[in-house]
């Protein structure tokens, strides 16, 4: 009787959480400030109830939460507490944990080891974790060195579906990872991850190998507002001065005319700037219907290689025309982040591809901190991705899969881990009900009566705690504004994006596009496919890079070079690369 009551209470609470998440994001963010004040004793009571429920259920199959009907792919956040923390028998255990360095940590707390969430994780699980990170900006090199060293760490965060030669099955054979099928079960050491995947069957499909093995603790980015956080940003005031209404910009032709107009405004040198080539492609690929490297054609569902499409030729031809007209920063290929920041703030450029947090947020806070240093009326806003014809929907803009397989952030347990069952429980923590909140928002997170969590006031008031920005303060408290082996909480971004301009940017970029289906899903290549892919990849990649470099420098005309370019790419085996991914995609679709 007592037990069923406890389970019932827990269920009611979880449903409350879900109602908060699946509702319209516009309204729920508006409600957040008032809801935060309501978090009170009621919340503490229900947490206590939940804990007792968890204790009684333990990690046995009888105590499972009732299943949720979830067929439309909305994210259900972790809601179970099957595994008991601190972990039993973990005294004196030390785990070595390797992960790529995060910019937000490097800019703030310095080392992953020193962050508050790293400390909280160790305290809650009772296990000492020794974090080692890559050299910032040299992830691939650091990973390569780590794998060639004689001793592997116990846990490694990386991306396993594409750049690891042979994918997860080869990594298993190499001893880089062990399959987790024994742990991710209803009564296993990672039971909470199991429950999370049961609640989200669309994720369950994505995180397995083709033959149905679990291999990682996935980085989950499960709702659309988390998936496309970069897009076109303009200096509204400059376009207004040129007589252009930025909200009316729709087609590539509109963009062109607006850029020509804004170039006439005093101070504007090159209206369009990007940090690098990749961003320029992301900014402009949608109207030309291609993506960088491998992608899935929106209409046919077949794998294509972007840099060989007719659309790419038209894209380059357009760039060359715009470069000749002086509309694009000619130094773009050697730009760094600071070049774009300075150009946008000084008004030498008026349109760029920016991340809502790291870039747009930085521009806004720079202006807020010292308004006198900038032109009066300086203002920024996000605009829609461009399309080719009026009324089109962008199909090739940003965004990511729910299992964010291209982020170097999914954790595996290596074959050299002597206590895999303890490592599994440590990693499972992030997918448990409490762990989800602690790892996203920090151990001092504020939880409302309806279960919604927020950053604490101490985290939000970053300056008082010696942090230079909100991003670094949040990265110290929890992992939500970075990547890693946890499920990103859908609400965090509305606290991270403090300015309305940033929130509007999220809606602008995400609500008016449909581009997830043109991304390669988390397929897994076989060893043969992977070998065929990498054999061609290095040559193809070098050739593609030097070709667009030549075109961008206006050293030759893309129309003249195109036939020769395509023939060369084909002779380098670009079709083998496509075939490898097509086979993997077919297997994935058949799952």
Partner 1 sequence: MAKAKTKGGVTTAPLNKRIWKNRELYILVLPVVIYFILFHYKPMFGLAIAFESNFNPRRGVMASGFVGFQHFITFFTGPFFLSRMWNTLRISLSMLVFGFPSPIIFALLLNELRGKIFTRTVQTVTYMPHFISMVVLCSMVREFTNSGGFINQIAMVFGYDGLSMLNKGNLFLPIYVLSGIWQSIGWDSIVYLAALTGIDMQLYEAAKIDGAGRWKQTLHVTLPGILPTIITMFIMRCGQIMSVGYEKIILLYNESIYEQSDVISTYVYRIGLVQRQYSYSTAVGLFNSVINFILVILANAISRRLTQTSLW
Contact residues toward partner 1 (CB under 8 A) are 140-141, 144-145, 147-149, 152, 165, 174-176, 277, 330-331, 333-334, 531, 534, 537-539, 542-543, 545-546, 548-550, 552-553, 555, 568, 571-572
Q: Which is nearer to partner 1, 123 or 141 (CB)?
A: 141
Q: Which is nearer to partner 1, 148 or 248 (CB)?
A: 148
Shortest CB 338 distance to partner 1, Å? 11
Q: Which is nearer to partner 1, 46 or 524 (CB)?
A: 524
Shortest CB 432 distance to partner 1, Å? 32
Cα–Cα distance for residue pair 367/423, rounded to 1 Å: 45
Q: Which is nearer to partner 1, 34 or 149 (CB)?
A: 149
Shortest CB 552 distance to partner 1, Å? 6
Q: Are 83 and 142 in contact (CB under 8 A)?
A: no
Give the sign of the dihedral formed by CA 224, CA 481, CA 195, CA 16.
Answer: negative
Shortest CB 206 distance to partner 1, Å? 25
Cα–Cα distance for residue pair 405/399, rounded to 1 Å: 12
Shortest CB 534 distance to partner 1, Å? 6
Give the sign of the dihedral formed by CA 70, CA 75, CA 79, CA 81.
Answer: positive
Shortest CB 174 distance to partner 1, Å? 4
Q: Which is nearer to partner 1, 15 or 136 (CB)?
A: 136
Q: Which is nearer to partner 1, 35 or 146 (CB)?
A: 146
Q: Which is nearer to partner 1, 73 or 175 (CB)?
A: 175
DSSP 8-state assignment for residue 208: B
Q: Which is nearer to partner 1, 312 or 467 (CB)?
A: 312
* Alpha carbon 56 to its chain's center: 36
Q: Which is nearer to partner 1, 52 or 539 (CB)?
A: 539
Report the SS3 class of residue 411: strand
Cα–Cα distance for residue pair 81/417, rounded to 1 Å: 25
Q: Are 274 and 340 in contact (CB under 8 A)?
A: yes
Shortest CB 541 distance to partner 1, Å? 8
Alpha carbon distances (Å) from 26 to 45, 60, 231, 507, 569: 29, 40, 19, 9, 47
Q: Which is nearer to partner 1, 89 or 330 (CB)?
A: 330
Alpha carbon distances (Å) from 73 to 76, 222, 522, 567: 9, 9, 16, 42
DSSP 8-state assignment for residue 351: E
Shortest CB 334 distance to partner 1, Å? 5
- Kindly report the number of other CB atoms within 10 A of residue 125's CB atom: 23
Which helix (H) or strand (E) covers residue 136, if one does? Answer: none
Tell me the chain's radius of gyration from C-alpha atoms.
25
Shortest CB 76 distance to partner 1, Å? 37
Please choose, from the candidates 332, 313, 231, the residue with its C-alpha nearest in 3D space to the C-alpha of residue 273.
332
Alpha helices in 398-526, H assignment, sequence order: 420-428, 433-441, 457-460, 470-477, 492-496, 500-511
Report the SS3 class of residue 343: helix
Shortest CB 573 distance to partner 1, Å? 11
């Amino acid at each position: 009787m007592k037990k069923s009551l406890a389970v019932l209470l827990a269920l009611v609470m979880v449903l409350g959480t879900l109602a908060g998440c699946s509702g319209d994001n516009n309204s729920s963010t508006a409600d957040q400030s008032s809801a935060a004040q309501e978090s009170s004793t009621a919340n503490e009571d229900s947490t206590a109830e939940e804990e007792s429920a968890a204790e009684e259920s333990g990690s046995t199959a009888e105590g499972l939460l009732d299943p949720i009907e979830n067929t439309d792919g909305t994210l259900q956040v972790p809601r179970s507490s099957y595994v008991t923390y601190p972990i039993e028998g973990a005294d004196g255990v030390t785990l070595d944990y390797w992960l790529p360095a995060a910019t937000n940590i490097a800019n703030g707390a310095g080392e992953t080891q020193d962050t508050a969430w790293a400390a909280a994780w160790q305290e809650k699980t009772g296990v000492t974790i020794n974090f080692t990170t890559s050299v910032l900006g040299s992830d691939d090199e650091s990973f390569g060195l780590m794998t060639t060293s004689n001793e592997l760490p116990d846990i490694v965060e990386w991306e396993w579906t594409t750049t690891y030669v042979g994918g997860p099955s080869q990594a298993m054979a190499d001893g880089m990872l062990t399959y987790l099928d024994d742990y991710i079960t209803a009564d296993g050491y990672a039971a909470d991850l199991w429950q999370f995947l049961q609640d989200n069957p669309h994720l369950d499909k994505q995180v397995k190998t083709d033959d149905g093995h679990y291999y990682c603790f996935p980085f989950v980015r499960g709702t659309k507002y988390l998936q496309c956080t970069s897009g076109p940003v303009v200096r509204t005031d400059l376009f207004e001065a040129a007589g252009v209404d930025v909200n009316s910009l729709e087609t590539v032709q509109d963009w062109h005319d607006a850029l020509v107009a804004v170039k006439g405004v005093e101070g504007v040198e090159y209206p369009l700037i990007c940090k690098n080539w990749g961003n320029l492609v992301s900014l402009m690929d949608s109207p030309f219907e291609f993506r960088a490297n491998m992608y899935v054609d929106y209409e046919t569902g077949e794998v294509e290689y972007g840099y060989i499409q007719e659309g790419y030729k038209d894209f380059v031809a357009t760039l060359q025309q715009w470069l000749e007209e002086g509309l694009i920063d000619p130094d773009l290929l050697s730009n760094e982040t600071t070049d774009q920041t300075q150009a946008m703030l000084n008004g030498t450029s008026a349109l760029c591809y920016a991340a809502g947090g790291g870039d747009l947020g930085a521009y806004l806070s720079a202006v807020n901190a010292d308004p006198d240093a900038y032109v009066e009326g300086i203002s920024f806003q996000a605009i829609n991705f461009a399309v080719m014809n009026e009324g089109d929907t962008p199909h090739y803009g940003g965004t990511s899969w729910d299992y964010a397989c291209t982020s170097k952030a999914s954790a595996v347990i290596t074959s050299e881990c002597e206590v895999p069952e303890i490592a599994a429980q440590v990693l499972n923590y992030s997918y448990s009900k409490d762990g989800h909140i602690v790892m996203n928002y920090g151990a001092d997170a504020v939880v409302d009566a309806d279960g919604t969590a927020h950053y604490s006031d101490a985290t939000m008031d970053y300056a008082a705690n010696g942090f230079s920005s909100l991003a670094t303060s949040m990265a110290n408290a929890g992992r939500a504004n970075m990547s890693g082996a946890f499920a990103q909480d859908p609400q965090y971004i509305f606290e991270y994006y403090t300015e309305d301009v940033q929130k509007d940017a999220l809606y602008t970029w995400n609500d008016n596009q449909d581009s997830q289906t043109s991304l390669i899903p988390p397929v897994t290549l076989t060893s043969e496919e992977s070998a065929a892919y990498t054999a061609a990849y290095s040559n193809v990649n070098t050739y593609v890079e030097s070709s667009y470099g030549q075109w961008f420098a206006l050293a030759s005309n893309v129309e003249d070079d195109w036939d020769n370019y395509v023939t060369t790419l084909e002779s380098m085996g670009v079709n083998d690369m496509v075939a490898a991914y097509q086979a993997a995609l077919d297997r994935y679709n058949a799952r």
